[in-house]
């Protein structure tokens, strides 16, 4: 009987391993596809069947950071030899780099859009997590009349998809002059993430024993000192987990960024799909922009991975 049980357990373990591998492949396949397309020549990006083995090149990244136009006449050998190495990569793709009257290279808008994404996502994450932490602490430590109703009201702000309120918000923003501004997007993303931050942080706060603060208050600490010196260090893992999810949401948001911005404060998500080559969408350039866009989130999550794992289990445990 024991031998049969052991054999069944081994079979289940093998099936579990196979299942995990299949799910991992399904989740990693789009990332591999984007990364490989970012280094492909343009003529291999849409081949059927897909080209798996190819000579990698960085011309999509050069095209991503420069303005280009269709090459009507081939450059002379002297022009080709005098051009920088990266500009020759553009020539090889049948395009040329746009230059000003002074001969200066015209750079694309991707770097500024990428920086806008960083500014908006980081600022809104700090605000959402900061306000959410204070709010969650109040709900966790004090008796508030209508607490459940207030918490439900906070959560209800997440029930409508962003596109439903985008048009009214656009009209209000136009009236107060917040269209196409960093602060306009920061306010929207902060408000959108605040409910998630409050609910997640409340779970973390509830797990921190009140006796720690009571002991600090007996020792002469003020309530604020007890919060910053006792509660915040204990809630660090929860804050890190909440920050990761808020940052990812703000970083990937598309609808508000598309409707509320045009040029000055436009973020990367609505800008990347607009990249075109010689009359058609250049999928290698789009993939290159997407690949670079994935890096900050991947790095941020990797740096906080230990806090993230501990924070998720910490907030889920109940006494």
Q: How many domains does the chain have?
A: 2
Bridge partners (DSSP) of residue 180 are none
Helix (H, G, I), strand (E, B) or coil at 45: coil
Q: Do 288 and 165 sit in the same domain of this protein?
A: yes
Q: How far apart are CA 256 and CA 298, in angstroms?
A: 23
Q: How far apart are CA 218 and CA 195, in angstroms?
A: 33
**From residue 7, how far is each of 2, 4, 115, 311 by CA, in Å?**
9, 5, 56, 36
Confidence (pLDDT) at 315: 47
Nearest of 298, 285, 281 to residue 109 by alpha carbon: 285
Helix (H, G, I), strand (E, B) or coil at 263: coil
Taking only Cα atoms into account, the Rg of the chain, rounded to an integer number of angstroms, comes to 26
Find the CATH number of the domain harbouring 296. Answer: 1.10.3720.10
Q: Please report, to the nearest 10 degrees, the dihedral formed by the alpha carbons of residues 310, 237, 132, 141 taken in order.
A: 90
Q: Do 33 and 114 sit in the same domain of this protein?
A: no
Alpha helices in the chain (DSSP H): 2-38, 59-64, 77-82, 85-92, 110-141, 147-156, 162-176, 182-207, 210-218, 223-226, 232-234, 236-252, 255-260, 268-271, 283-303, 305-316
**How many CA atoms lie within 13 Å of 44's alpha carbon, on the beta-carbon side?**
15
Q: How far apart are CA 25 and CA 18, in angstroms?
A: 11
- Residue owning tokens 């973390």: 204
Domain presence at residue 81: no
Q: Do 28 and 175 sit in the same domain of this protein?
A: no
Domain presence at residue 79: no
Mean pLDDT by groups of 10 residues along the chain of 319 residues:
66 88 91 90 83 86 85 79 80 79 82 94 95 91 84 81 84 91 93 90 87 86 87 88 91 90 89 68 87 91 76 50
Cβ–Cβ under 8 Å, residues 31 and 72: no
Q: Do 174 and 274 sit in the same domain of this protein?
A: yes
Confidence (pLDDT) at 20: 92
Domain that holds residue 8: 2-37
Residue 180 Ramachandran class (φ > 0 left, ψ -120 to 50 alpha, else beta): left
Domain presence at residue 73: no
The per-residue DSSP string of 242-262 comes to HHHHHHHHHHH--HHHHHH-S
């Amino acid at each position: 009987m024991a031998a049969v049980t052991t054999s069944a357990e081994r079979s289940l373990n093998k099936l579990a391993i196979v299942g995990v591998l299949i799910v991992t492949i399904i989740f990693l396949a789009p990332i591999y596809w984007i990364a490989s397309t970012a280094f492909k020549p343009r003529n291999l990006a849409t081949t059927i069947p897909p080209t798996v083995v190819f000579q990698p090149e960085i011309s999509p990244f050069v095209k991503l950071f420069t303005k280009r136009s269709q090459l009507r006449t081939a450059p002379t050998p002297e022009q080709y030899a005098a051009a920088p190495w990266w500009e020759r990569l553009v020539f090889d793709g049948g395009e040329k780099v746009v230059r000003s009257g002074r001969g200066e290279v015209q750079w694309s808008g991707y770097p500024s859009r990428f920086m806008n994404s960083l500014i908006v996502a980081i600022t809104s994450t700090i605000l959402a997590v900061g306000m959410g932490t204070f709010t969650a602490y109040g709900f966790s430590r004090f008796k508030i009349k209508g607490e459940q109703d207030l918490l439900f009201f906070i959560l209800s702000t997440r029930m409508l998809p962003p596109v439903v309120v985008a048009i009214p918000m656009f009209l209000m923003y136009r009236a107060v002059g917040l269209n196409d501004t960093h602060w306009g997007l920061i306010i929207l993303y902060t408000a959108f993430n605040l409910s998630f931050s409050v609910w997640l942080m409340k779970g973390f706060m509830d797990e921190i024993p009140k006796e720690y603060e009571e002991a600090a208050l007996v020792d002469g600490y003020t309530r604020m000192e007890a919060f910053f010196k006792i509660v915040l260090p204990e809630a660090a893992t929860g804050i890190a987990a909440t920050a990761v999810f808020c940052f990812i949401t703000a970083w990937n948001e598309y609808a508000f960024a598309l409707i509320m911005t045009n040029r000055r404060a436009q973020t990367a998500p609505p800008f990347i799909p607009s990249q075109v080559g010689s009359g058609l969408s250049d999928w290698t350039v789009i993939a290159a922009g997407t690949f670079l866009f994935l890096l900050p989130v991947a790095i941020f999550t990797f740096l906080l991975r230990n806090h993230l794992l501990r924070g998720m289990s910490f907030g889920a445990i109940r006494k």
